Amino acid sequence: MKIYLVGGAVRDQLLGIKNQDRDWVVVGATAEQMIAQGYQPVGKDFPVFLHPTTREEYALARTERKSGHGYHGFTCYAAPDVTLKEDLQRRDLTINAIAQDNQGELIDPFNGAEDLAQKCLRHVSPAFAEDPLRVLRVARFAARYHHLGFYIAEETVDLMRSMVNSGEVDHLVSERIWQEIVKAIQTQSPWVFFTTLQQVGALERILPDLARVWRISNLPQQTLKVAKQQLVSDEVLLSCAFLLQIQPDKPYTSTEVKSAQNQTKQLMESLKAPNNIRQLSLLVNQFWTGLMRLDLSASDLLDIFDRADAWRRSERFMMLLQGIQCIAVNVPYLTQQQVSKHINTIYQQWQTALTIKPGPFLNQGITGKALGTAIHEARLKAIQSFGGVTESTQD
């Protein structure tokens, strides 16, 4: 039995990047031998075990044979006669097909270390084309290492395109697509994930509504760049990524807003996105043009506060404002400083209105519908006393 460190831990070690997750491959052993040594089996599709002390994952060396469509369409073979090279050969990229023994020596049969030095993302073998999820994974690695100057090898781009054209990516399930999107959002350059998928034609196949926006506008790309710079939460980044309106200076009719809302709702449902992301994405698409109006009156602003449920869902409304600020840097008639002042003014007016509580009105005997009216009027006066958005945004 021989044990090797593999995958991301070796790759990032060579790049000088910290990586807390370590994966191991075991050559020359059986599942029974692993269990006898105290390893706990956890793999469903292939033999993976947890170390009895460190709880790190140890997988038996294996090969895979294509047996159907999609990323589940594989037959796995794990046995003591599977070599380390055979195990590494089934991996996606050469930079992920490097192993290290217990002496610190590298085993690199596919020149992954050289590709790391050249900042190249290159597939290991033609078997890459058998797993459609790898198209998304390569796009994610391109986003993860974009700031370091990495690029995708031309032959790998061609192979990804052929996988799209063959219809293989059509077999990806929504849950795995969403997982890759979330991981991509957490990279330093998430927009590269979407532009890479667009480059090879995959975005059109898996997210056609989003592909249309990315094809005709650079607004989503610029918005994600700003959002990443401002260190907003992943929820805000995701809502900005799925922006389905494209012109920040265009006044949208209620019909157009409704259409965008329906598209966003359908997109979120198709991806089976979590409810909090669905709601925030819908709010961003619904309110960003309204909140960026410089002629926004106090009554209009209060109406947005009411419809966005800013009183009860304050954390979500705060994320909505953050998303609006990221989008608003693309507005041609405002500088970034003016955008910040505009959003800050709205935030201050919201905070002022939040100070209005029902207690004083209840003490006056005001209840029922009259109570709601009294609170609404008091909030309106509070916003008006603070000063209109237009006046507060002027330099």
pLDDT in tens, 3-33: 999 989 999 999 999 887 899 999 999 999 9
pLDDT in tens, 84-134: 999 999 999 999 999 999 999 999 999 999 999 999 999 999 999 989 999
Which residue has 């330093």 as its token pair?
A: 188
Give me the pLDDT at residue 390, please: 47
In angstroms, how far is the first alpha carbon of the chain from the final one? 72
CA 383/CA 389 separation, integer angstroms: 9
Give me the pLDDT at residue 395, please: 43
Q: Which amino acid is at 117?
A: A
pLDDT in tens, 158-212: 999 999 999 989 989 999 999 999 999 999 999 999 999 999 999 999 999 889 8
What percent of the chain is modeled with pLDDT above 70? 93
**Could you give phi then psi for residue 269, rounded to 5 degrees?**
-70, -40
When mean pLDDT is compared across 55-64, 192-201, 255-264, 316-325, the lowest value belongs to 255-264
What does pTM read for this prediction? Answer: 0.86
Look up the CATH number of domain 1-111.
3.30.460.10
Beta bridge partners of 63: 77
Whether pLDDT at 357 is above 60 = yes
CA 96/CA 123 separation, integer angstroms: 10
What percent of the chain is modeled with pLDDT above 90? 61
Q: What is the mean pLDDT of residues 283-302?
A: 86
pLDDT in tens, 61-97: 988 775 555 455 567 788 899 999 999 999 999 999 9
CA 94/CA 7 separation, integer angstroms: 10
Whether pLDDT at 316 is above 90 = yes
| Every domain of the chain and the residues it spans | 1-111
Contact in structure between 334 and 348 (CB atoms under 8 Å): no
Contact in structure between 292 and 341 (CB atoms under 8 Å): no
CA 307/CA 321 separation, integer angstroms: 14
CA 47/CA 59 separation, integer angstroms: 6
Task: List CB contacts of 352: < 8 A, sequence separation 6 or more.
Answer: 382, 383, 385, 386
Q: Give the DSSP per-residue string, 5-65.
A: EETHHHHHHHHT------EEEEES--HHHHHHTTPEE--SSS-EEE-TTT--EEEE-EEEE
